[in-house]
Amino acid sequence: MTDNEKYLFDLNGYTVIEGMLSPDEVAAANAAIENHIDTMRIRPREQALNGESPALEGEHGRGELGGMLHWPEPDCLPFREIMAHPKLVPYLNEILGKGFRMDHQMFLLSMDKGAEGFIFHGSSGPGFDPNQYYIFKNGRFHNGLTVVGVQLTDVTPGDGGLIVVPGSHKSNFPCPPDMRKYLAHQENVRQIVCKAGDAVIFTEAVTHGTLPWTSDTPRRTLLTRYTAGNMAYTPSYDVPEWADERERAVMEKPYHTRLNRPTLDDGE
Ligand SMILES: O=C(O)CCC(=O)C(=O)O
């Protein structure tokens, strides 16, 4: 992670790794998704995410597709590579510390034109949330749950999709309710524009959410949430038999790095 990227992550609560995946890696992931597209779940109306905000309302729910890490070979392979991608590891080593782990299993967030948004959420005060926090101390980042969104399609200005309120991870006040609904102070809300293959990393402490999708090209984002090695937000899971050394390092149960926890080095 360069000094500029560290500055911007500290300033904004997120950073973008441009071109993390090559066009071939993007194509392989998209092709594998096509093979399993019939298992995609469209979020039903009773589980709407727009928080009753008319500005975030859609004609239908977002699509969610999970389980890709466990698909039969070769379809699982692009996703197992992404989980501990060599270009991602140095960022997570810096943001979460060595020994970081995958907390929530990877899933695909898919949005067709008209898909609803998600009310802005995240933890950034006034109280301390022991699962979702941002601290910078002694020259190091300390983050609770941290999200990596790998884009498998382009996101252009005005399309909708992921937004953050830059800097809100350091806020001492709760986000005003009408701002969380995208009904006020919209000039402080930043839509994250990306190319297919880019990865957005943001701390769950930054206020973030989703704008309804307006583009004819569907959105496809692979979402994975990581924590520091000693932490768990969701119940931990057993390391699957198929995991190689590299995969095992990010699927290990939560415990201290001092106890021979497998870790990944930058450039590994
Ligand atoms: O649209 C996004 O990328 C954000 C989604 C999100 O915050 C969530 O699913 O919890």
CATH number, position 193? 2.60.120.620
Q: Is the CB of 162 under 6 A from ligand 1?
A: yes
State residue 92's pLDDT score.
Answer: 98
DSSP 30: H
CA–CA separation, 227 and 245 (whole Å) = 19
CA diameter of the chain: 51
Range of the domain at 225: 3-231
Asked whether residue 213 is domain-assigned, the answer is: yes
- What does the CA dihedral 96, 102, 104, 106 come to, rounded to 10 degrees? 120
Helix (H, G, I), strand (E, B) or coil at 244: coil
Is residue 153 situated within a structural domain?
Answer: yes
Q: Is the CB of 110 under 6 A from ligand 1?
A: no
Distance separating alpha carbons of residues 147 and 134, to the nearest angstrom:
13
Average pLDDT over residues 8-21: 98
Is 63 a member of any domain?
A: yes
Look at residue 213 and tell me whether its pLDDT is greater than 70: yes
pLDDT at 125: 77
Q: What is the pLDDT of residue 268?
A: 66
How high is the pLDDT of residue 71?
Answer: 98
- The pLDDT mean for the chain works out to 97
Question: Is the pTM higher than 0.75?
Answer: yes
Q: Is residue 257 part of a domain?
A: no
234-241 average pLDDT score? 95
Is there a domain that residue 268 lies in?
no
Give mean pLDDT, residues 100-117.
Answer: 97
Q: Is the Cβ–Cβ distance between 75 and 144 less than 8 Å?
A: no
- Ligand 1, residue 221: give the atom nearest the CA: 3
pLDDT at 30: 98
Q: Is residue 178 part of a domain?
A: yes
In a domain, 145, yes or no: yes
Q: How far is the CA of 130 from the centre of ligand 1 (A)?
A: 20
The structural domain count of the chain equals 1
